[in-house]
Amino acid sequence: MEQHYNDLLKKLKSRSDIDPNREFSSELRQKLIKRQHNTTNSSSLATILTIPVTLSVFVFLVMVTTGQSIGLKHAAQLISDKEKYLETTMCIVLMFCLSLFISFIYFKGFTKGRLVYLTFSLSFIAWVGNLIYAEHDHKEDSIEQSGYNETFDNEIVNPLMMKQDQQQDGEEEGQ
Amino acid sequence: MKNPYAQLSNGLCFVFLDLSFFGIPDILPDFMGYLFFAYGIYLLPSFHNLKRWSKNFAIILIVVSFILELTQWLGVKTFWEIGIQFIQFLLIVFMYYLFQLLLHIHQEKPLESKTFKTYQIFMACMLCGFVFHAFAINIDAHIQKTVNFIGSLLQLFAFILFMNYCRASQRDEQKMNKPKIHSL
């Protein structure tokens, strides 16, 4: 019996005293730290924002210098009056959302950091985007107007011609 | 010694007021305004890096606005209109750095809270005004005027606020520099 206890004590002494939970938690912590470290290094908010801003600036500069257009207008082309109204509403909603976001950031009291830089980059993106869209819209309108002049202007729709016709009709009826 | 806040307020006056809107030739060119800004920053009592950066920024803006004025005199319209909005954005970024410097100078001083409040309202109004002007390009003609007017009103409010702040800072500096007369 005594020998049995001695053996047991020896076994206990030789046992590697490892707490599995503790080991697991430390491993998990290390993993989490590694992952967090990786994410902050690879894709921070600054890098995510810098790429589209730089691209938009380059596109804009190319457009201004070469006078060429990009075929983005067809994707966002709106035809009917209802859609035109929707477009204006969207513009106003976006404008107010951005303004509210900017007001929120500054009235909250941020002086530095990502959110402050975000307000600058978002307003710059909004300006560049609007300029590009206006450029396309203007080109589209000028094409439509030239088509209208060629087909209808001299025949039916010209209001001056219609007025003259009506006056002639009235004179004939009077005679 | 010349007061830096007077130079800063003169600078914003030159940048903001455009007399060509009233049919008068613009005798307050923007680049002169940025020159005043650079001189005002030079006079500010600080050795922080922000002072150097904002002064260099002002010098860059002097060059850019001078080129823009030149394009206006030569009559290059497309570059002028885009350039005006672009320099407006650069002015907002510049004012952000200037406020950072002012916040650093007024840290734990009587005008700290006033500087901070002016920073908050000025930046919000200027950026919102810029966003309003940016979106006004694509809005219907009858709403466009209203949106442009609101944007201009916001920026005018920010301008008045900064002037008020400069006046308060000027008075504070004069009070600090006043020699104290001891009673006998």
A169 vs A90: which has the higher pLDDT: A90
**Nearest CB to B135; choose among A119, A126, A137:** A126
For residues A102 and B152, give the distance between their C-alpha atoms in angstroms, rounded to a whole number: 17
Q: How many distinct structural domains can be found in chain B?
A: 1
Domain contains B86: yes
User: Which residue ranges make up each domain of chain A?
Assistant: 1-42, 44-148
CB of A119 within 8 Å of any CB in chain B?
A: yes
Interface test with A, best of B138, B142, B148 (most A CBs within 10 A): B138
Domain contains B184: no
Contact A107 B119 (CB under 8 A): no
pTM over 0.80: no
pLDDT single digits (tens) B118-152: 999 999 999 999 999 999 888 888 888 888 899 98
Residue reference for tokens 């010349």: B2
B118 vs A167: which has the higher pLDDT: B118
Contact B139 A92 (CB under 8 A): yes
ipTM of the modeled complex: 0.85
* Span of A60-64, A143-147, B63-67, B78-82 with lowest mean pLDDT: A143-147
- How is residue B38 written in tokens? 């650079």
Please give the DSSP secondary-structure letter assigned to residue B182: P
Domain contains B183: no
* Cα-based distances in Å from B156 to A7, B52, B130, B136, B142: 90, 28, 12, 17, 22
pLDDT exceeds 50 at position B116: yes
Domain contains B122: yes
Average pLDDT over residues B76-80: 68
pLDDT single digits (tens) B25-55: 666 788 889 999 999 999 888 888 888 889 9
* Degrees, nearest 5: CA angle A159-A160-A161: 90
Count of alpha carbons within 13 Å of B30, Cβ hemisphere only?
A: 24
Interface test with B, best of A101, A119, A128 (most B CBs within 10 A): A119
**Nearest CB to A102; choose among B82, B119, B127:** B127
Residue A96: which residues within 8 A CB-CB, separation 6 or more?
none
Q: Which domain holds residue B126?
A: 4-172
Domain contains B69: yes
Please give the DSSP secondary-structure letter assigned to residue B22: G
